[in-house]
Structure 1
């Protein structure tokens, strides 16, 4: 009976935690929906033949560059303002930028706006991911992070559905961005109570942030090299599928509606896979899971690269499979790294990982656009498949060291995975 009561108490406590974070997650979904609409609308505009490749590369580089800056300044902002205030202030900045798109299509202004949007999204990502990892414990970190990724995947899906429903050329898409972003901020702040408090040990800024100050990428390389490779690859792949697919579709002769459908299929695949992958990541060695994910993603990318544009149904199915495999690599790799970190290091490590993500995001558009111009449009997926193969290789070599690593670890087996 005591065991039953203990399990019932733990279940009730976990359910209460999920209910407490639900308004925040819904807010993230709404803000992400706005960002998806904006990204798709900008990419569709850039796919027009009248726009030069230099302008395309310039505008596409702005978002990841701003993302990089956001990763660098997020931790000091969280240290000064706290998680909730940082999220709300930067969210207002993103909403303000969204409103300016309706006023002009000048490339230099769009570059500045994409720079600002990238900065805002990175800061919000660092803020919310570090907050989740501080709020979670070892038993539910994978589940909470999968819920976060589920909301992110839903956001992409909703964004694509709105674009399809309104039409790629609709003048109201930028208005939808503004409404969606503002609604997300309202929900995360006013739909529920204040954000749930972090554990007492972590609520003191002086103790939480100062020791994490020097936690750098080189330390993450030593602690979890497979995470470093996986996060960099995710930066190369995830956002760039959304930005480059309309351009890829135009190059291989697909119409704009089908390009949006491919992104929708990619998003649905990632959405449906988040729950099962999150469940698996809490119950098996995450390095083995990353090995399987990396290998499967490589195979799917190779299939897309070899498929001709005439196989539209198969192409949608492959994009669905690609989303299911590629969009789940990031949460598994981050959960693996955070399970091996001390609590005081999580905020700094989250910023470092997103900085690494932004580096991949910054490099990929220019490299992919150059390969598509000089080699073939299908070179986009050769590049993405190569990144996925590197994840599989890193996970394989990490597993080769598993016996010695596990023998020297003081963590329980489920905690070290």
Structure 2
């Protein structure tokens, strides 16, 4: 692992700075709006705008990178993020903030795509697993460090905005000065909605619920923690403990996942998670909250990678890049809806309703995910597929599949080339059977 970090230090460092700024900004905005007495609904709207931007940014990123190249696309995106972040300091209008959050989401997805395609291009086949794990590690680390900044700077002020803008600007430097070769051009992966809905419904349901949970957590948990009496410093600790627990849980969950039935693990996870979320809604003691939120992080942040592993078990290797795009959209939909629903319930029933909403969301998995419904009809020969850590917060793009060791690099390249060949073939007007739908 140390040699892997050394080899890809510039790309990892850029990722770390990006996520540090992103994690700090989300929590800061939640606390700032809460302190100003702004409706919880607007907090949900802001987080929804961010996730909608992330999902839309996948399409924008493909086009931008194809037109101007990787470094220019990264520079342009970082410029948009920096300007949008600084825009929060120029006005207190939540309507303007909503547009700015959407812009940040679109631009950051472009940055993720540049970094992931670069990692994929430079990673040898034998080190792909370590490269992927290192990428997820710096993702969690950046998000956690962003929360801890609040413990050192507890007074909400424009200094937080300046720090986020600095991170957004400085992440340019490692990419701009890297001596590594530029990656090959990108080709967008189409969605195969019907195929995946029919083949992996339980995995998609789990991904959607994970989006509901984590979108609500990032957008509304700071306001909840503040409402139960935690000051800014301890809100940062509250968020960092949850994210840190999610990081620690990845490897034990992976060890169990490769040995036990994954659908059963998701169901048990959901049962315990429902209980923990209800306890958080009922308990307001700061010491007990830290313990409960750590347990929440252990469970909530492992739902996404468990679902990804379950999905890969039932999807052929050549379809896994398309699967990654499908999972991204599914998670993004959940993460966009979750903050809106959670904020409405908080407005109606008070801050604890956030975790009641989360408990209801995880309860859906108890009902929907049933091991006896997994027929094994589409189980691939190499199943169970190796479990890989995943942040589960859209800190990745459809290209994350390319650096996943479960996807063979040559299969990805052949598939992309085949899509290009098909798109370039003329349509025979006399043969309806070969006409594109």
- The TM-score bracket by the shorter chain reads 0.7 to 0.9
When the two chains are superposed, the root-mean-square deviation of aligned CA atoms in Å is 3.4
* 1:305–1:139 CA distance, 2 compared to 1 (3 A): farther
| 2:384 equivalent to 1:414 | yes
Compute the TM-score of the two structures, normalised by the length of structure 1.
0.79
Gaps of 5+ in 1: 1-13, 198-202
**2: CA distance between counterparts of 1:78 and 1:332?**
31
Alignment equivalent of 1:401, drawn from 367, 374, 384: 374
The residue that corresponds to 1:7 in the other structure is: none
Residues 317-359 of structure 1, C-alpha deviation per residue, up to 9 Å, x if partnerless?
1111111211122233234435655566444433332222221
| 2:76 equivalent to 1:102 | no
**1: CA distance between counterparts of 2:313 and 2:150?**
38
The residue that corresponds to 1:354 in the other structure is: 328
Q: Report how many aligned residue pairs link the two structures.
A: 387
The residue that corresponds to 1:6 in the other structure is: none
The residue that corresponds to 2:234 in the other structure is: 258
The residue that corresponds to 2:250 in the other structure is: 274
* 1:383–1:128 CA distance, 2 compared to 1 (3 A): farther
Compute the displacement of 1:194 (Å): 3.9
Residues 65-118 of structure 1, C-alpha deviation per residue, up to 9 Å, x if partnerless?
323322443444455566666455423322232233333323232222111112
Compute the displacement of 1:367 (Å): 1.1
SS in structure 1 at match of 2:158: coil
* 1:383–1:103 CA distance, 2 compared to 1 (3 A): same
Gaps of 5+ in 2: 388-437
Residues 269-304 of structure 1, C-alpha deviation per residue, up to 9 Å, x if partnerless?
112223333454455554344334333322221221
**Within 5 Å, which residues of 2 pair with 1:113-262?**
113-125=100-112, 144-190=131-177, 193-194=180-181, 205=186, 209=187, 212-213=189-190, 215-262=191-238
Bigger proportion of residues as helix:
1
**2: CA distance between counterparts of 1:90 and 1:324?**
33
Alignment equivalent of 1:337, drawn from 303, 307, 311: 311
SS in structure 2 at match of 1:259: helix
**1: CA distance between counterparts of 2:263 and 2:121?**
22
**Within 5 Å, which residues of 2 pair with 1:27-46?**
27-46=14-33
The residue that corresponds to 1:9 in the other structure is: none
Compute the TM-score of the two structures, normalised by the length of structure 2.
0.76
| 2:42 equivalent to 1:66 | no
* 1:218–1:138 CA distance, 2 compared to 1 (3 A): farther
